[in-house]
Structure 1
Amino acid sequence: MDIREILTHVDHTLLKATATWPEIQSLCDEAIEWQTASVCVPPSYVKRIADAYGDRLTICTVIGFPLGYQTTEVKIAEAVQAAAEGAKEIDMVVNLGDVKDGNFGLVEAEIRGIRESLPGKILKVIIETCYLTLNEKVALCEAVTAAGADFIKTSTGFGSAGASLEDIRLFREHIG
């Protein structure tokens, strides 16, 4: 597999708090040039990108980002608005407080609610593995799968650690 093929599986991302429109434009131009899977950007830029770039790239945005503390209703509203403005993919962050409390049914219901609000869109669920026990990671693999999300992701990039090979192996074992 060459670099170009690998890049078709990469979400070219800029989510820093100080991201400017020129930086977002540069990100989009690079995504088009390198044919990345998507550009992942703050929700405030989705409509502007859709207006400026049309269907030349796939827009992904984040909801409940980066801590996942928003209520389910707010996350659904964020997702619906982002989709209406041009996002084709949504990266949502789970509520880690619910996870730590063992409320996996609530987490699954939230993911399912967002999934149902996004017909035809890709939903990716960020679980922030650096804060989780092995049992919590396994339970989240099950909840994410049962709720019908398309992908599970290890981290926001804002936690204490990012992806690890161990977590990827765990996902592979419990999701496939």
Structure 2
Amino acid sequence: MYNIKNSRELASYINYVNLNNIITEEEMKEFLEKAKESTFNSVVVSPTYIPLAKEVLSDTDIKVGSVVGFPLGFEDTETKIAETTALIDKGVDELEVVINLSYLKDKKYDLIGKEIEEIKKVMGDKILKVNIEVKALDDAEKSAIVQVAQKAGADFIKTATGFVTPCHIYEIVNDINIIQKYAPKIKIEIYGGVDSYKIANQVLTAGADKIASNYGYEIVKRYKELRENTQVKPKPITLTKK
């Protein structure tokens, strides 16, 4: 199993997600205040709440991530580039871009690759994640798209938008294996099905670099309860001479 040293390290592997499209500003503030209690790698919020997230988290090292072409990915490249530029102007640190699945189904790899290249050019040194929605793909399609994404300069493959059925741990491991085999230089972020420390540990053990989860706060809190806040009172030992 993955050797997590403490809750701080665990949180650093997690991107804490809240893409609820009917959340109020007050509810988002509560989410962000909860995020401040842990050392998450990032929070992932809708474009609407990037300025608020930057403000609330300004005294932390937590990055602010958001989404482009979410959740279906069928916008044209020019629209995605415009979205990307606008979000960078708002101060976003990381972006995930949903690929055009129609292009993938038609094997229009050149169009997908060009889109990724152009978006990465706009982003510069900020982190670009390419979301491939694995539940919509067979293994051959997964192997093809991860090669395209790596060649085009994406930093991460992200496995899902959260709008489809979460993956079972065995499916997650299979996806990690495919990505590592066909795109060994790209990093892997798993989203979907990770709602406990046990699953998070299994996913990291399998080779994921980051975990995105709506349950990031609960995962870290439970880890603290089990590993850091447990107090055991030792029983006295009496030594008797023989």
Same fold (TM over 0.5): yes
Contact residue 141 and residue 175 of structure 1 kept, 8 A = yes
- Partner of residue 104, structure 2: 99
Q: TM-score scaled to structure 1, two decimals?
A: 0.93
> Structure 2: how far apart are the matches of 1:34 and 1:48?
18
Instruction: State which structure, 1 or 2, has the greater radius of gyration over its C-alpha atoms.
Output: 2
Q: TM-score scaled to structure 2, two decimals?
A: 0.69
Instruction: State yes or no: 1:35 paired with 2:39.
Output: yes
Of all paired residues, the percent bearing the same amino acid is: 34
Instruction: State yes or no: 1:135 paired with 2:140.
Output: yes
- Partner of residue 159, structure 1: 164
Residue pairs, 1:3-152, within 5 angstroms? 3-54=7-58, 56=60, 57-152=62-157
- Partner of residue 168, structure 1: 176
Contact residue 128 and residue 154 of structure 1 kept, 8 A = yes
Aligned-pair CA distance for 1:138: 0.6
Q: CA RMSD in A?
A: 1.5
Structure holding more helix per residue:
1
Aligned-pair CA distance for 1:171: 1.3
> Structure 2: how far apart are the matches of 1:157 and 1:91?
13
> Structure 2: how far apart are the matches of 1:46 and 1:171?
30
Helix, strand or coil: the match of 2:180?
helix
User: Highest relative contact order (Cα 8 Å, sep 6+), 1 or 2?
Assistant: 2
Segments of 4+ moved more than 3 angstroms: 160-163
Instruction: Give unpaired runs (5+ residues) of structure 2.
Output: 185-242
Summarize the Cα distance change of 1:3–1:173 in structure 2 as closer, same or farther, 3 Å threshold. Answer: farther
